[in-house]
Amino acid sequence: MVKRLLLLTALIQSATLPTAYSTAGRSGPCNILASAGNPCVAAHSTVRALYSEYAGPLYTVQRHISSNCSGGAFLENTDWHGDNEQTQLSVRNIEECCAACAAQSGCNHFSLTHSSMQCYLKRGNRTPVPQVNVTAGYCTKGPTEAVNISVLEAGGFADIAAHEKFCPTGDCVISVVFDQSIEGNHLRQRISDGVVHSMVNASLHKISVGGGTNHTRGTAAHVYGMWFEQGDGYHIDVTRGVAIGNEPESMYAVMSGTHFNDKCCFDYGNSENTVTADGDYNAGAMEAIYFGNAHWKGNTALGSGPWVGADLEAGMYYGGGAQTVVNNASRPLTSDFVSLHLKGLTNGFVLKGADATRGEFATMYSGLRPDPKLACCVTKTDTYQPMRKRGAIILGTGGDNSNLGVGTFYEGFMASGVTADATDAAIQENIVAVGYRTLAQKVPPSHPL
């Protein structure tokens, strides 16, 4: 192991990177992967550059220029059926309720219960239903404007000042998460198979990074992560460089061990191409990191979760082979920030997880793919071996558009081929060096904010 780590260090120092980047500065995770022969085919983050010399945009924030709350949009004795209530607040009249919806990111319809003067801000699909003493309405939002949020310096953290200058009232959404790799696999709002997913509020989740040996050379900073609620989701259908069929791949993500649920599915990774899938959401069509504590038809791991899993379509799995249904070797990951890893081999898969602020990766599973005879929802003609990955990329949803999962996303990157354990160790070390902290956590005394 020591020899492999020394070899990897030598490779990093003499790395030959994609033509878009130089080798100056501290290596990012995609530099490490390129050095090991596993170049990134996707690199997404709202927190930092994932290449040492990346100096471009990380994400786009978007806001509406104006909103229309005209009386003609109000429906008396009517409510909206089938939508989760996003926010509840007290108001004096229907105009205030509509104005609150206009200011609330993601809200596009609302209702006011007159007996209590409670305003309910809602989003997503809606069906009007009769309801006495309730007034409902649409919020028709005007044109949008947007700005890209880049890194402060090459290889550095996001420019939070530019973010907050453009979004002073916190009413922006993230409309694009840029792919920092040369493949250009940028993530945008997922709209597929008639399902319109929401974009995340850009200013819900501020964290601290830096304050140690990291990409800002000892300077602490604030940045924003992506806080996903039910209904949010991003994707890109037509990609470049992403594994298809049974081709091997490796992917990593940093998420939160405190913001999750047991629904389907908070994913990041390889998914169905809904342009060409034509409703094919069967076993083996995708391979993505899943994080949460869902017990998909009984699948489980040790304790109560959350766990790192693999969404392989027709099920989220914490193990395979004889451990398809129960894998007690997979331990819960409950830290504020967690590092996750999924390795898709040609004849199996590997799951790893860790605290993203310290320690090393632990292998939660390594072995055969799920056994179709033990899996819940696999038809007699479907199998997980070989895989038939479609090569799209999703974030925050399941491959089949399921969007009831919740979670937090800070960074994720996908690489070609199967990474070595030494490479995984170097990636985890790089993530720890970022210095992820909640705002409640103190910065080391030598590096005050």
Residue 262 is a catalytic residue: no
N residues, the chain: 449
- Phi, psi of 296, rounded to the nearest 5 degrees: -65, 105
313 is catalytic: yes
- Cβ proximity of 53 and 79 under 8 Å: no
Single out the catalytic residue among 267, 400, 411, 424.
Answer: 400
Q: Which residues contact 255 (CB under 8 A, 6 or more apart)?
A: 266, 268, 291, 337, 338, 340, 407, 408, 409, 410
Conformation bin of residue 37: beta by default, left when phi > 0, alpha when psi is -120 to 50: left
3-state secondary structure of 313: coil
Find the catalytic residue in 313, 371, 411, 424: 313
d(CA 159, CA 153) in angstroms, rounded, equals 9
What whole-number distance in Å separates Cα of residue 189 and Cα of residue 175? 6
Asked if 393 and 271 touch (Cβ cutoff 8 Å), the reply is yes
Whether 405 contacts 398, CB under 8 Å = yes
C-beta of residue 23 within 8 angstroms of C-beta of residue 15? yes
Q: What distance in Å separates the CA atoms of residue 275 and residue 323, rounded to the nearest whole number?
A: 34
CB 407 within 8 A of CB 260: yes
DSSP states of 42-74 = EEEESSB-SSTT--SEEEEEEEES-EE--GGGE
CA 29 to chain centre: 17
Catalytic residues: 313, 400
